[in-house]
Amino acid sequence: MKLSDIRNDYFTYSTRVSEIIRKLNFAGLALLWILSHEETESFFSNKENFMPLRLLVFSMVTDVLQYLIQSIIWYAYYMHKRKELLKNNIEDVENVIIKENEAYNIIPWCFWGLKILFTLLAFIFMAIILLN
């Protein structure tokens, strides 16, 4: 197995996890909506019931931030490297193999982990609410 295969695999799996988290977030919102309409008194009159909603929204926001920040970081890196290569009179800049700095992925990976954590916590809170 080539190193590039391993990299492609982890990109595939992390993308799949993001898709699952998005679906869970929407399922959680649907569950909260159903619960809010089944209660005789207002479901959200209890402040504890707001916590899963907040966590699901935080997860969705971190999902967007992950991809937004990742896009900005890698575009800036691309432009920097492109200018550097053109400055050094490299002709085919698009096909030059460069060693990318993995540190640029730290912030997006943090957001990736946070969205998973927020979703898990939201479902834990929903389970607690349902069991009470």
Q: In one letter, which amino acid is 84?
A: E
Q: Are 90 and 96 in contact (CB under 8 A)?
A: yes
Note the pLDDT of residue 36.
75
* Number of CB atoms found within 10 A of residue 87's CB: 8
The DSSP 8-state label assigned to residue 105 in this structure reads G
pLDDT (tens digit, 0 to 9) for every residue of the chain, 132 residues total? 777 788 788 889 999 999 999 999 999 999 888 877 766 566 666 677 789 999 999 999 999 999 999 999 999 998 998 898 889 888 888 888 888 888 888 999 999 999 999 999 999 999 998 898
- CA-to-CA distance for 107 and 105, rounded, in angstroms? 6
- CA-to-CA distance for 40 and 38, rounded, in angstroms? 6
Note the pLDDT of residue 124.
96
Note the pLDDT of residue 66.
94
Note the pLDDT of residue 130.
86
Note the pLDDT of residue 96.
84
Q: Are 24 and 104 in contact (CB under 8 A)?
A: no
